[in-house]
Amino acid sequence: MVLPLVTFSDDGKLLGKGKRMFTWPPKVSLGLGTMHWGTTPLDKVIAGKIITDEEISLIQNRAASAGVTFIDTAEGYGGGSSERRLGRLRFSQSGFLIATKFIPTYWRWTPQAVVRAIRASNRRLGIESCDLGFVHSPIHPRSPDVWIKGFARAHEAKLIKAVGLSNFNAEQVRQAAQVAKEEGVPLVANQIQFNLLVAASTSLKETVQACHENGLTVVGYSVLGQGLLTDGLTERRWDKSVLAKRLKLSREELTPLRNTILKIAQNRNCRMSQVCLAWARAHHVVPLVGTRSLSQWEDSLDGLGVTLTQDETQELDSLALGRSTFDRARSQRLLILGFLSLLMTAYKVSSVFRAR
């Protein structure tokens, strides 16, 4: 399903006059993820190193030259230091569509919390109005309706132009779409894990269908299965894979799928990662690639030249696994939100000793 293009202006109104316009979905179906662009000591511990401003500037220039305009960050990435990078390097002035995410931590309970958070994100990003604001998670003791209403207030205050969801299942998508309609705020996307490890999941299929029914673009993260579906999977990386443990995967289950991805890659003289990105695009999903280096980003851009045949897409679909994060118990997901709340606190402390 191909969704119609929607154009937004600075005042957040459809097809209005404004100083800066952006179109959704992005014309080039690829997003640049900045999860690993934080600059705190904690980021260095997690990632092993901190990517430099100089390398990010090279990534920025290559993205612009390839026509990639969608860049995704979050207040939780590096405790806001990823957002500060984008502001410092003037991404918004370079024609990029800026998206950030609001995290409904356990100390946030009202719509006004969204407004305060978006104001703070905009200050870090060096902008008056963010192009797209995502609700990072629907899991919270309060209903996600609270956050949609908060984004509606931020939209009315011209702090954001459009709203997205993240990790919302089918039922939550439909409810959010109804609330957004009632509040008069444009809802345009749902950012979910989308890869060949989870694609056969009934809950994922239902979620994608709900997105299409309500005019939402699916933005897919972890399209490469956090390295499980790429050329670089070694025994060491397999043993350390958090995703493999979370999804309870075995190497035996993964082998037929990996072999087929490799076969297609060899036939096309490309990399396995590029086949995975092409597979996501074949399903009208905008792949979001978390980028740690220029070489990794070049690899993603080269993949834009790979288009799968219908037979290749169907072959991969037939081998897709049916794991899904949507199928985890709510109690487990609430624990994850507790962890994210603690992580946000740790980042705030770490940001006092920011590495750059």
Mean of pLDDT values over 5-14: 57
Per the rule left: phi > 0, alpha: psi between -120 and 50, beta: everything else, 141 is alpha
All domains of the chain in start order, with CATH:
27-351 (3.20.20.100)
Tokens of 149: 């209403």
Percent of the chain with pLDDT over 70: 86
Question: pLDDT tens digit string along 250-301?
Answer: 999 999 999 999 999 999 999 999 999 999 999 999 999 999 999 999 999 9
pLDDT of 12: 46
H or E element: which one contains 257? helix 251-268
H, E, C per residue of 14-73 = ECCCCCCCEEECCCCCCEEECCCCCCCHHHHHHHCCCCCHHHHHHHHHHHHHCCCCEEEC
